[in-house]
Structure formats: C-alpha cells, structure tokens
C-alpha cells in the first residue's frame, strides 16, 4: 500500500474489514466512536460501533494509519452510503 494514501471506510457485516471501503452498508445508529481526528490507529483497532437490526456492527482499522476525519458522533442515525471515517495509511 503506498505510503500516505487516503482510504475512506465503511461497515462490512460487523465482522471484519479486509480492504479499505467508504460507507455504511445499512441504516443504523452510532453507539460508540472510539477515535478522534489525528489519532494513530493499529490494524484491527475498534473505531466505531453501529447498531443496526438489533446487532452491533464494529468498524475496525484495516491497517495501521492515522484518522484523518471522523464524520459521525454517538447517537447519529446513518443511512446506507453514509461516510463514517477516513483513515490515512503510512504514518
């Protein structure tokens, strides 16, 4: 992965992210935001938890990087396609 490249992220089945993606796949409510802009993150680190269809979906960092922006806060209702966060690799 090229150093310094930016990757938008999205929720995928609440199980794992094996590649950088962009947006929520289903509507839901944000119940936890466990990161802030500028934070360093490690691969697998929990970033955002979303509740949808009586399930908790966990958004984890798919690689080591830096949180460039977090677009949601606790209590936000999101729809399919909502941008949740952007992680930049290589820092």
> Which CATH number fits the domain that encloses residue 59?
2.40.50.100
Which residues make Cβ contacts (< 8 Å) with residue 75, sequence separation at least 6? Answer: 29, 30
Nearest residue to 17 via CA among 7, 2, 6, 29: 7
pTM, to two decimals: 0.73
Q: What length is written for the chain?
A: 91
Confidence band of 26 (pLDDT split at 50, 70, 90) = confident
- CB of 58 closer than 8 Å to CB of 77: no
Sequence-ordered alpha helix ranges (H) in the chain:
none
Examine residue 70 and state whether it is found in any structural domain, yes or no: yes
Check pLDDT > 70 for residue 16: no
**Domain count within the chain:** 1
| Rg, Å, the chain Cα set | 12
Domain that holds residue 46: 6-89
């Amino acid at each position: 992965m090229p150093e310094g490249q930016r990757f938008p992220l999205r929720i995928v089945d609440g199980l794992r992210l094996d590649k950088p993606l962009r947006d929520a796949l289903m509507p839901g409510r944000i119940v936890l935001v466990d990161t802030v802009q500028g934070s360093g993150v490690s691969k697998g680190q929990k970033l955002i938890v979303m509740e949808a269809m009586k399930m908790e979906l966990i958004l984890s960092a798919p690689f080591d990087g830096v949180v460039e922006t977090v677009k949601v806060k606790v209590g936000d209702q999101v729809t399919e396609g909502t941008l949740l966060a952007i992680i930049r690799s290589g820092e």
